[in-house]
Structure 1
Amino acid sequence: MPSVLPDGDPVPESGELPGGALATLGERPFGFYVHIPFCVTRCGYCDFNTYTAAELGPGASHQDYADTAIDEVRLARRVLGDTALPVQTVFFGGGTPTLLAADDLVRILRVIDAEFGLAAGAEVTTEANPESVGPRSLETLRAGGFTRVSFGMQSAREHVLRVLDRRHTPGRAAQAVQEAKEAGFAHVNLDLIYSTPGESDDDWRASLEAAIEAGPDHVSAYSLIVEDGTKLAARIRRGELPMPDDDVAADRYLIADELLSKAGYGWYEVSNWATSAAGQCRHNLLYWTGGDWWGVGPGAHSHIGGTRWWNVKHPAAYASRLAAQKSPAHAREILTSDDRAIERVMLELRLADGFPLADFAPRVRPAVAQALTDGLLEVDAFKAGKAVLTLPGRLLADALIRDLT
């Protein structure tokens, strides 16, 4: 089932933000995340805030969802006031955003543009399952202002897709990439998952080769995480499937970096590769570099000027709040300067651009020196003295970053 929301401080019904959050509004890049919480079926590994038709219950529907999301966009404009906030990036995620009609997705985007204004050259992405789109819907999205599409491929092997409870056939993702290109999308991503129980090195190589052959300009590769409460976790607990092995995952990462690098993809974040700077996901870079964003939708998280909040989880509760002209926020937290400094290290150090050596807190500098000695970090002279993860450092990124915060 969907993950549990964290506790936090109460949020005013108006959604009003603390003055400190608004004081520097407009100084950082600003974007929107739009959560579409619908799926046809629940994948066995997924713990995202998503709902099948049987789980929705009364008070929420696909048909009304675009209008409800638009109500929150208009709430965002009221809360943020008259400050000029040209929207640099918009990301429709889920769930499966493309279970909504393409016209509905375009309609939400048009209201974001009308209320805030899209910046020149704004990046507008939608996630999609390969089977949830076709040439006509992709053409509608492209004509409506979407510039990027991200397909959940996960694997090219049928038995791996079955373990993940994915519904598409192995070749459908590559076909969808071609359809997106023909619709005019210059930027296309394929998401892959490695270390699925039953997957071999040869299976993983075949998936990478199929993704590269499809010709997207961006590939994301994530190690499978077994989340408590999921169907996959229950199957592993019962002994039906083996637990993914960390050493195997490390080997798979090395295979990914080798094949993607040879094919002309450069890593720019630990789990992300692109063929050029233009192909990098600017919305995710906004997250990783401390930008501001408003998250629309049930369970969506937002961040403005050091204040972070998250919406109520269920679509019916979300719709009810907005219908009553109340903020759908469940709770919030105001980050301290120390919190923000730690999060900056956690996020920026994952990037190929690195983190300035001089900005590490004095208390962690011995650990930084040790990481340099151990070959987990290197100082890139071409990046003004920034510490950058080496390939071994990327393999140990989570543990290393904990040591450096």
Structure 2
Amino acid sequence: MPSVLLDGDAVPASGELPESALQGLGSRPFGFYVHVPFCVTRCGYCDFNTYTAAELGPGASRADYAATAVAEIRLARRVLGAAELPVETVFFGGGTPTLLPPGDLAEILRAIDGEFGLAPGAEVTTEANPESVDPASLARLREGGFTRVSFGMQSAAGHVLAVLDRRHTPGRPAAAVTEARAAGFTHVNLDLIYGTPGETDDDWRASLAAAVEAGPDHISAYSLIVEDGTRLAARIRRGELPMPDDDVAADRYVIADEMLSQAGFSWYEVSNWAATPEARCRHNLLYWTGGDWWGVGPGAHGHVGGTRWWNVKHPAAYAARLAADASPGHAREVLSADDRRVERLMLELRLDAGFPLAEIASPARPAVARALAGGLLEPEPFKHGRAVLTLKGRLLADALVRDLT
């Protein structure tokens, strides 16, 4: 979760949602995002809402966090009323969720199941740093109902990890994948980052090869973004490191798509590749296709029926709100029909299924024709009424969305 909170309308102390948000509740996929804001150290590139022990004051105990999160889950049930809302996906992110004991994470999951009910075959994911788990903790997570684990690998090159301030050693992510498989996890993801200052094409190829060799069924690859306020941004500003180059990033993306495709992975979202359809991250697909979700935790965002809200940022303030039986919501916004249309285009166009041509506004039709002529859209799906990105189109997806809106 980004560390800067946006302005918006006030959230009532009860957490009550507008009537418009509750219309159609239960007809759309529903999930939970659980933000665990704790980290051993803060990575130099990270702008998420995370805290080390030294940054936390009174009222923000890691030991009490599960009980506080459960209180928000109970608030969610009150706010959403009696509607049948089987939870299709749960995603524990951070921070490092696995800094909490497996029993605490399972307690939070049990509360979601108890208040809402997990749908049959629900996907339950936790992020983890490779060094924050071991065979015993992974086994307890699997026993506690988790079905998927996502490890932050970033790179196989030690000097790249050092620039990113990552603490694990090269080779540990592969060992963690093996341990997760042994614990019974069918679905395992590795996250990679490309474009780090000092990374070479050979470094990137080696990282991709190591990720594939580790045996996950899902790989995510993201271009490094230099966020204001991070240590990495400060080092670049002082001239210690060069700013990542967009052309280099584009070349690295092409390398990733080529190597992952050759290894049997298929892209289904611009930054995500899966070995099988079943390996796709269903929680992220819920986000990308306009589902509903409740965000639990400090700084977490939720969305129901076109209303989006975000919680207070600091864990102590978050805990204090819930201790007072009040919503931890900081602010919210009700998206207009036009906002929702643009957001849907922006997200769905990044998927391999693409976006319906018939739903692109008439003024943007010339831009669609230019995109097809310029090789940004696949010709065959276009004939069947879908705008689906080519590899070149994926490299220019953000610019294309602007043209089409």
Q: TM-score, normalised by structure 1?
A: 0.99
- Tell me the residue number matched to 1:294: 294
Structure 1 residues 311, 381: CA separation in 2 closer, same or farther (over 3 Å shift)? Answer: same
Deviation for aligned residue 1:401: 1.2
Letter in 2 for 1:360: I
- Tell me the residue number matched to 1:305: 305
Letter in 1 for 2:22: L
Residue 101 in structure 1 maps to residue 87 in structure 2: no
Which one is further off, 258-267 or 380-389?
Answer: 380-389
Letter in 1 for 2:309: W
- Tell me the residue number matched to 1:200: 200
- Tell me the residue number matched to 1:27: 27
Identity rate of aligned residues, in percent? 79
Deviation for aligned residue 1:381: 3.8
- Tell me the residue number matched to 1:40: 40
Deviation for aligned residue 1:355: 0.3
Deviations 1:41-63 (A, max 9, x none): 00000000000000111110110
1:256-267 paired onto structure 2 within 5 Å: 256-267=256-267
Letter in 1 for 2:403: D
Deviation for aligned residue 1:366: 1.1
1:221-260 paired onto structure 2 within 5 Å: 221-260=221-260
1:77-96 paired onto structure 2 within 5 Å: 77-96=77-96
Deviation for aligned residue 1:380: 3.8
Deviation for aligned residue 1:382: 9.2
Say if 1:353 and 1:383, in contact at 8 Å, map to a contact too.
no
- Tell me the residue number matched to 2:364: 364
Letter in 2 for 1:273: W
- Tell me the residue number matched to 1:332: 332
- Tell me the residue number matched to 1:114: 114
- Tell me the residue number matched to 2:8: 8
Say if 1:301 and 1:311, in contact at 8 Å, map to a contact too.
yes
In 1, the alpha carbon distance for the partners of 2:102 and 2:383 equals 42
In 1, the alpha carbon distance for the partners of 2:195 and 2:11 equals 40
In 2, the alpha carbon distance for the partners of 1:383 and 1:75 equals 48
Structure 1 residues 121, 2: CA separation in 2 closer, same or farther (over 3 Å shift)? Answer: closer
1:182-201 paired onto structure 2 within 5 Å: 182-201=182-201
Letter in 1 for 2:170: P
Deviations 1:103-122 (A, max 9, x none): 00001000100000000000
Deviation for aligned residue 1:365: 1.2
Deviation for aligned residue 1:228: 0.4
Secondary structure in structure 1 of the residue aligned to 2:152: strand
Count of residues paired in the alignment: 405
Task: State the 4+ residue runs in structure 1 displaced beyond 3 angstroms.
Answer: 379-384
Letter in 2 for 1:8: G
In 1, the alpha carbon distance for the partners of 2:106 and 2:383 equals 39
Letter in 2 for 1:122: A
In 1, the alpha carbon distance for the partners of 2:121 and 2:3 equals 35
Deviation for aligned residue 1:379: 4.2
- Tell me the residue number matched to 1:211: 211
Deviation for aligned residue 1:378: 2.1
In 1, the alpha carbon distance for the partners of 2:2 and 2:120 equals 36
In 1, the alpha carbon distance for the partners of 2:345 and 2:70 equals 34
Which one is further off, 366-375 or 39-48?
Answer: 366-375
- Tell me the residue number matched to 1:375: 375
Q: TM-score, normalised by structure 2?
A: 0.99
Say if 1:379 and 1:385, in contact at 8 Å, map to a contact too.
no
In 2, the alpha carbon distance for the partners of 1:218 and 1:396 equals 23
Structure 1 residues 392, 97: CA separation in 2 closer, same or farther (over 3 Å shift)? Answer: same
Unaligned runs of 5+ in 2: none
Cα RMSD (Å): 1.1
Letter in 1 for 2:262: K
Say if 1:380 and 1:388, in contact at 8 Å, map to a contact too.
no
Deviations 1:222-273 (A, max 9, x none): 0000000000000000000000000100000000000000000000000000
Unaligned runs of 5+ in 1: none
In 1, the alpha carbon distance for the partners of 2:323 and 2:309 equals 20
- Tell me the residue number matched to 1:388: 388
Secondary structure in structure 2 of the residue aligned to 1:371: helix
Structure 1 residues 374, 124: CA separation in 2 closer, same or farther (over 3 Å shift)? Answer: same
- Tell me the residue number matched to 2:128: 128
In 1, the alpha carbon distance for the partners of 2:263 and 2:89 equals 28
- Tell me the residue number matched to 1:171: 171
Deviation for aligned residue 1:2: 6.2
In 2, the alpha carbon distance for the partners of 1:327 and 1:383 equals 49
- Tell me the residue number matched to 2:144: 144
Say if 2:382 and 2:388, in contact at 8 Å, map to a contact too.
no
- Tell me the residue number matched to 2:285: 285
Say if 2:264 and 2:275, in contact at 8 Å, map to a contact too.
yes
Deviations 1:83-132 (A, max 9, x none): 00000000000000000001000010001000000000000000000000
- Tell me the residue number matched to 1:318: 318
Say if 2:349 and 2:389, in contact at 8 Å, map to a contact too.
yes
Deviation for aligned residue 1:384: 4.3
Letter in 1 for 2:44: G
Say if 2:3 and 2:299, in contact at 8 Å, map to a contact too.
no
- Tell me the residue number matched to 2:350: 350
Say if 1:380 and 1:387, in contact at 8 Å, map to a contact too.
no
Structure 1 residues 383, 115: CA separation in 2 closer, same or farther (over 3 Å shift)? Answer: farther
In 1, the alpha carbon distance for the partners of 2:2 and 2:288 equals 24
Say if 1:379 and 1:386, in contact at 8 Å, map to a contact too.
no
Secondary structure in structure 2 of the residue aligned to 1:377: coil
Say if 1:308 and 1:334, in contact at 8 Å, map to a contact too.
yes
